Amino acid sequence: MRLMILYGVNCTKNIWDYINPYLSNFEIDYVEYPHDVTLNAKKVDDLTEWVYKNYGHYCYDAMIGHSLGGIVALQLIAEYKMKVDKIIYLDTNLKPANEFYRNLMTQKNMDLYGESILQMLREEREFYTAELLKSIQVDFDYTNLVNEISQDIYAIYGDRGIPGYPAKIQDLNLSAQTLNNLNLVFIHDACHMIMVENPEQLSEVIKDILLICKK
């Protein structure tokens, strides 16, 4: 099975190193946005256009996108009509979410991985424009993409170490129509950096989704 995997803003493809060993049986294209592209990108579609030009001739069993990468994946399907069976996005906000979702990692995982992850985020920040960051942080709404896609969409979020939190769906600030078009899954003891914090459970969830692809 062939997968496309897209990382989020201020990251590199090394962010997938933690989960990559669990996905070794798949053929994976780890997309890496060139700095000369991110330096000139004013909106998400500027990245999406580059990805389509370089990968649009391939067919994938699934696209997996983290954060901004999830928006890129949705645009590739909704606007560029790329061929893919399933879409999986990881902790992607389609609209500004409430405070529950505004954290990078649990404190335990920050102690374990925070230094290296924060260093990566700092080093990559200079290659992203303020306009692009604003397009995914302030007054944005990408729910129209979900409502235009016929393929199954799996929206995976970290449970922030509070599995019983009663408003975790409400705090996504999504309409009933949008929620009806999503398959929501929550990963234990993880926040925004799911693939770093709990790669074992996340990989099992992804494999289960891909098995559905094969039926």
Instruction: State pLDDT tens for residues 177-210.
Output: 999 999 999 999 999 999 999 999 999 999 999 9
Distance (Å) of CA 30 to CA 2, 51, 58, 214: 11, 11, 13, 21
Question: Which of 71, 204, 24, 213 lies closest to 185, judged by CA?
Answer: 204
Q: What is the pLDDT of residues 145-189, one digit of tens each?
A: 998 999 999 999 999 999 999 999 999 999 999 999 999 999 999
Alpha-carbon torsion angle 125, 128, 131, 132, nearest 10: -100
> What tokens were used for 175?
């309409």
Secondary structure (3-state) at 84: strand
Residue 86 has pLDDT above 60, yes or no: yes
Q: What per-residue confidence (pLDDT) applies to 138?
A: 87
DSSP H or E stretch at residue 194: helix 194-197
Kindly calculate the radius of gyration of the chain based on its CA atoms and give it in whole angstroms: 16
State the Cα–Cα distance between residues 21 and 121, nearest whole angstrom.
23
Q: Tell me what the pLDDT averaged over the chain comes to.
A: 96
Residue 98 has pLDDT above 50, yes or no: yes
* CATH architecture classification, 2-214: 3-Layer(aba) Sandwich (3.40)
> What tokens were used for 30?
């780890």
Q: Where are the domains of the chain?
A: 2-214
Cβ(14)–Cβ(101) below 8 Å? no
Section 78-102 average pLDDT:
96
Cβ(1)–Cβ(182) below 8 Å? no
* Cβ neighbours, 10 Å, residue 49: 19
Q: What per-residue confidence (pLDDT) applies to 189?
A: 97
State the Cα–Cα distance between residues 82 and 76, nearest whole angstrom.
6
Point out which residues pair with 180 in neighbouring strands.
Answer: none
First-residue to last-residue Cα distance in the chain: 13
Residue 93 has pLDDT above 70, yes or no: yes
State the Cα–Cα distance between residues 50 and 11, nearest whole angstrom.
17
Residue 56: which pLDDT band, with cuts at 50, 70 and 90?
very high
